[in-house]
Amino acid sequence: DGEPNPAMLQRYHDYQLKAAMYHAYQAIQLYIEEPFTAHLPESLFNIARFLLQALQIESPPGISKVSTLFALAKQSRNLGAYKMARTAYEKLQTLKVPEAFREHIDLGCITIRSKPFSDKEDVLPLCYRCSTPNPLIGGKEFKCVACGQPFAFSYHTFEVLPLVEFAVDEDISLSEAKRLIEKDTGSSSSAANAGGAEVMSMGDEDGFDAFMDLLLQFEPG
């Protein structure tokens, strides 16, 4: 009948989350077990954050919370997210961990106390809709704490992608919507000489930025 089936849609989202978790955990497992990793520290940090938040929603078999927290603690410390590292070490102390991890965890718990009780601002995930920095570990939904915008992740680095969902007005047809999206915004680029240097300026001559103007008028809700 063409109507969406809520049960099947929910089942799809459940399987999609599990697939993403297993895909992410492969990088964590290789990082823990292998001497070298192909992933950058920032990627491992984002992967571990994603997994830890996803484990609040679903706990698939084979995904170790201890390994995830261990990787998160180490990469958080490396990237200056000391508050996150301290939280990860505290949670590890409440879990049954392998003997091979025990010395590293005990030493990490002691040395992290000499670091600031804060995270660097540049590691906080940013909402590309309302520009609000979000906590490193959110609730049971991957969305902005301020405006509720769902986060879209890169399944390679697990960074939040600069994508914003929008809905087309019901009065606008599909063909008209495509035409408007592809339409030139009216901004122009020009090259000029300034002090002997070639300078390219983009946007309206009066400096008006329509996107920034709308962003400043945006009210979270």
Q: Tens of pLDDT along 138-196?
A: 888 899 998 888 999 999 999 999 887 777 788 888 888 888 888 765 554 444 454 55
- Residue 46 has which token pair? 């984002």
Q: What is the mean pLDDT of residues 37-62?
A: 93
| Signed CA dihedral, 115, 117, 120, 123: sign only | positive
Instruction: Measure CA of the first residue to CA of the last residue in the chain; give whole Å.
Output: 34
- Residue 23 has which token pair? 């895909």
Question: Bridge partners of 199?
Answer: 192
| pLDDT score recorded for residue 177 | 84
Q: Which residue matches tokens 């920032």?
A: 42
- For residue range 2-15, what is the model confidence (pLDDT) as tens digits? 577 888 989 999 99
Q: What is the mean pLDDT of residues 7-33?
A: 93
| pLDDT score recorded for residue 206 | 57
- For residue range 83-136, what is the model confidence (pLDDT) as tens digits? 999 999 999 999 999 998 999 999 999 999 999 999 999 999 999 888 899 999
| pLDDT score recorded for residue 214 | 62
Q: Are 51 and 28 in contact (CB under 8 A)?
A: yes
Q: How confident is the model at residue 36 (pLDDT cuts 50, 70, 90)?
A: confident
| pLDDT score recorded for residue 189 | 46
| pLDDT score recorded for residue 207 | 58
User: Smallest Cα–Cα separation from 71: which of 96, 106, 94, 101?
Assistant: 101
Q: What is the mean pLDDT of residues 183-210?
A: 54
User: Smallest Cα–Cα separation from 144: which of 158, 165, 168, 169?
Assistant: 165
| pLDDT score recorded for residue 191 | 47
pLDDT above 60 for 205: no
